[in-house]
Amino acid sequence: MRKINLKDVSEQPWASPKGKFGGASKEVSVALGRKPESNDLNERHPFDIELCRIPPGKINCPYHSHSSQWEFYQIVSGQGIVRHAEGTTPIAPGDAFIFQPGQPHQITNTDSQDLIFYIVADNPIGDTCHYPDSNKWTTVYPDGRLVRSEPLDYYDGEE
C-alpha cells in the first residue's frame, strides 16, 4: 500500500501571461507514484487525482474538450461556475459533476475565497484537446511532447 498526506504534497502554481487563468494543484497521484511520462499502464495508474485551488476571480484553464478523457469533479470549498456546452452552472461545496469525452468545460471562481476541488481523470494516452474559443487543438504525449494545430502558445487567443 502507498500512502501520502496532502500536507506533504507540494503545490504547483500556474498562471497565464495576462493573469486571466491561474491556480495551483497538488498532484496526488504523482505523489502516490504515478509516472505520467510512462507508456506502461501499470506505472501511469488507471486514473489521476489532483487537488486544485483557484483564487478569487480566476479561471482554471481555457474552455476545452477532450477527445477521449473523462473528468470527474468534487467541490470541496468555495463557489464558482462551470461553463459547459449548455451554458453555465453554479457550483458549491458538495457538488460533483462529470465531463465525458467531447464535452467542453471550464471552471471560474466567483467567490471571495479560494475555490478548491478534486479532479479525477483517466488520462488516456494520445488524448487530444480542442479549444472552441480559439479554435486550437493539441495532443499531449506521455513523454511531454505537445503537438498543436500550429505553433501557438497555450494561451494564444484565450486572453
Task: Provide the CATH number for the domain around residue 16.
Answer: 2.60.120.10
Domain-embedded: residue 155: no
* Enclosing domain of residue 118: 9-148
Asked if residue 16 is part of any domain, the answer here is yes
Dihedrals φ, ψ of 12, to 5°?
A: -105, 110
Q: Is residue 70 part of a domain?
A: yes
Q: pTM for this one?
A: 0.88
How far lies 35's CA from each of 26, 119, 150, in Å?
A: 15, 17, 28
Taking Cα atoms as reference points, which of 32, 65, 67 lies closest to residue 50?
32
Q: Where are the alpha helices (DSSP H) in the chain?
A: 28-31, 41-44
What is the reported pLDDT for 147? Answer: 59
Tens of pLDDT, residue by residue, the chain (159 residues): 999 999 999 999 999 999 999 999 999 999 999 988 788 878 888 889 999 999 999 999 999 999 999 999 999 999 999 999 999 999 999 999 999 999 999 999 999 999 999 999 998 888 889 999 988 888 766 655 555 556 667 787 788
Amino acid 92: pLDDT: 98
Q: Is residue 35 a part of any domain in this protein?
A: yes
State how many domains the chain has: 1
How far apart are alpha carbons 14 and 50 in whole angstroms?
Answer: 14
Residue 48 lies in a domain: yes
Q: Is residue 2 part of a domain?
A: no
- Considering the domain boundaries, does residue 66 fall inside one? yes
C-alpha cell at 140: 499531449
pLDDT of residue 96: 98
95 part of a folded domain: yes
